[in-house]
Amino acid sequence: MGSPEFAAPTLLALVSTQHQVIAVYTKPPSYSGRGLQENKSVIHNLAEKFDISVMTPKRLRDSENIEVFRSFAPDIVVVAAYGLIIPKEFLQIPKYGFINVHPSDLPRWRGAAPIQRTIMAGDTKTAICIMQMDEGVDTGDIILRKEILLDDQITAKELHDMCAETGGKMVLETLSLIEQKKVLHKKQSDIGVTYAEKIQSNEEKIDFNLGAIEINCKIRTLSPRPGAYFFYNNEIIKIIKAQVVDLKHDFEPGMVIDDNLSIACKEGVIKPILLQRQGKKMIYTDAFLRGFNIPAGNKVQK
């Protein structure tokens, strides 16, 4: 069970082994454009490539969907960013239950956006957990855990790709432990529980009344898409990559302090490296300023 790109390495890992993937559950296709073109999920397309049965229920609790699932008689279900809550009626059917690939150091960052919240909070380490699913939201026992140390430049996209690849390998290791009856379940701590709410559109706007480190965490979280932005002359300017300059100053937050678009924050300075105007390509700051000059002394985010 999975839907986006994050789930692809797990499915690819499974089909490359002796394990039989009898079905894939993924989100239903969306339809867009004048001709209502069908847009299937990444996992939907991948499953079809391997001639695997694809199920796209809008909700799982319906009795018909429960019976269809029961008819597959699965030994185990692997979940990676599926998108629907798994009801108790489903959880009880497989012999070995459901296991989930979760990209955070549980119980920190349970919920919908663990990778983004990890970066936005400035965490210096995280983990990938293979979890035995229960009825709660990411509350199940941990089967495998791999710690990841984070530097202060990693983006959410980079962490996403790293967790997706490693998670697929960890799923195979977990299945091997189950086959050998060597699985040890570790209950999650009740201490340090946090919830990773989805990123809201109003969080994409940069507030220069915050410190430069906190602002850079937001930039790295939203890079390259949807992108953290500021306004200048009523135009949205996205900062895709930036550098923090530890500089004590008396400039007003949001003030451009030099001809390289360095912007004063409440504490420190943000120096953009890669920017993007609406409808334009991402370009480096020097090229950006040749076509869209923002001189020193001007204030962004008016």
Q: Residue 302 above 60 pLDDT?
A: no
Binding residues for (6S)-5,6,7,8-tetrahydrofolate: 104-107
CB 241 within 8 A of CB 273: yes
Query: Domains of the chain, with CATH numbers?
Result: 5-196 (3.40.50.170), 201-291 (3.10.25.10)
Sign of torsion over alpha carbons 236, 238, 242, 246: positive
131 vs 98: CA distance, rounded Å = 8
pLDDT beyond 90 at 33: no
Residue 128 φ/ψ, nearest 5 degrees? -110, 130
The pLDDT mean for the chain works out to 96
Share of the chain above pLDDT 70, in %: 100
Lowest-pLDDT range of 26-35, 106-115, 260-269:
26-35
The binding site comprises: 104-107
pLDDT in tens, 88-145: 999 999 999 999 999 999 999 999 999 999 999 999 999 999 999 999 999 999 999 9
Which pTM value belongs to this model?
0.94
Which pLDDT belongs to residue 6? 98
What pLDDT shows up at residue 286?
96
In this predicted model, what pLDDT tens digit does every residue of 160-199 receive, in sequence order?
A: 999 999 999 999 999 999 999 999 999 999 999 999 999 9
What is the model's pLDDT at position 188?
Answer: 98
